[in-house]
Amino acid sequence: MPPPSPLPQRHGLDAAWVCTPDGGRAGPHPWPTMGAWLLERLAEFVDVAGFLAGERFAYQSGALVVGSDLYGPRTFVWFHRDLADETVVPGTIHVVHRDARLVVIDKPAFLSTIPRGRHVVQSVVVRLRAELGLPELSPLHRLDRVTSGLVVLATERRWRGEYQSMFQRGEVEKTYRALAPLRPDLDLPVTVRNHLTSRRGHWQAEVTDDPANAESLIELETVLQHTGVYRLTPRTGKTHQLRMHMLGLGIPIIDDPVYPVVQDVALDDFTRPLQLLASEVTFTDPIDGELRRFESVRALPLQAEVAVAVAGAAAGSA
C-alpha cells in the first residue's frame, strides 16, 4: 500500500502514484535523474515533459519534482491524470439516507457506480465525493451501470470493512423489480439455481453444468396490459445474475441492451433505460445493531431522464 497522498483529490478523484524500484541492486542505477525515470515509466500514459514543466508531479513530502533531481530508489511520485471530456449522464442521484457512517443513494440508469474506463467523472462515487464533501466515500457493493436504484456507500474508510464484510457474508436482503413480458404458462413464484460464469472480453454471462453458484427467487407482483412487474430476490451476487435468470425463464427484462442479444447502442444513448430497479435494501447494522431498510424513490416503468448540470462533468485538464 502507498503512503497517504500529498495531493488533494481533484474532481473527486485521488491522485495517481508511481514508485521507483527498491535500491537492492548493485552498481549505478540506469536513470541519472527522476525526469529520466519518469519519462521511461510514464511516457506512454502522460506528457511527462509537460507535467514537469507544469509542476504537476509531487514527492511524498509535497515538494515538486524537478526533472533534474537525482534519481532515488523507493521514491513515490504523485500526480493527477488529465481527464477526457465525458457526456453528462441524465438523471438525478437521490440521497435516500445519510448519517455519519452511511450514505444510501438512488441512482439513474447509465451512471457507473465507480470510475471505470470511459466513465470517470460520470460515476456515483466521483460525483458525490465532490457534491457531499466526502473525499473517502466508497461503495459497499456493486450495481451495473445500466441498472437503476439503491447503492449503499461508506462515508469514511474506517467504516468500510465491517459493512463490506456484511455484504460479502450475504447478510443483506436486496429486492429488485423488473418489467418483463408475461408468460401465462410459467408457474411462479420459482427459485432459479444454476452456475453462471463471466469471461473477460465477453458481454454476456454464460450458464454451465457446474454446481450452482447463483440463486434467485422470481415472483410476479403486478400484471399490466402486456407486461408484468416482477419481484426479484437474489440470494447470491453473480454478474448479470437477475438478467440471466429472467432470460432463462423466457421473460427477458425489457430494454436490456445485452440479453438475449447484444444491441448496438451508443454509449451516449440514454433513451431506453433497462427496466430493472434495485428497489429495496434491508440489513441489521453490524456496528449498532439497528435494523436498516431503504426503498427506491423510482418506480417502473423507468423513463428516460433529463440531464442535469454537474460540476466537473467535462473535466478535461482544468
Average pLDDT by stretches of 10, the chain with 318 residues: 88 89 71 94 93 94 95 93 85 97 98 84 92 95 95 97 95 98 95 92 86 96 94 94 96 95 84 97 97 98 76 42
- In this prediction, residue 30 carries a pLDDT of 86
Alpha-carbon span 187 to 199, nearest angstrom: 32
- E runs forming strands in the chain: 16-19, 58-59, 76-79, 94-98, 102-107, 138-139, 148-154, 173-181, 190-197, 206-208, 214-223, 227-234, 276-284, 291-295
Q: How many CA atoms lie within 13 A of 127 on its CB side?
A: 26
- In this prediction, residue 306 carries a pLDDT of 75
Cis peptide upstream of residue 301 (ω within 30 degrees of 0): yes
Show the cell assigned to 214: 447463483
- In this prediction, residue 27 carries a pLDDT of 60
- In this prediction, residue 149 carries a pLDDT of 98
Would you mind telling me the total number of residues written for the chain in this entry?
A: 318
Alpha-carbon span 41 to 48, nearest angstrom: 9
- In this prediction, residue 24 carries a pLDDT of 61
Long-range contacts of 286-291 (CB under 8 A, 24+ apart): 286/162, 286/163, 286/165, 286/166, 286/171, 287/101, 287/159, 287/162
* C-alpha distances out from residue 169 to 103, 163, 286, 294, Å: 20, 10, 12, 19
pTM: 0.81
Long-range contacts of 92-98 (CB under 8 A, 24+ apart): 92/305, 92/308, 93/124, 93/127, 93/128, 93/131, 94/297, 95/132, 96/150, 96/294, 96/295, 96/296, 96/297, 97/294, 98/132, 98/155
Alpha-carbon span 53 to 20, nearest angstrom: 20
- In this prediction, residue 25 carries a pLDDT of 59
- In this prediction, residue 315 carries a pLDDT of 45
Q: Are strands 227-234 and 214-223 parallel, antiparallel or unpaired?
A: antiparallel
Alpha-carbon span 253 to 231, nearest angstrom: 12
Helix (H, G, I), strand (E, B) or coil at 207: strand
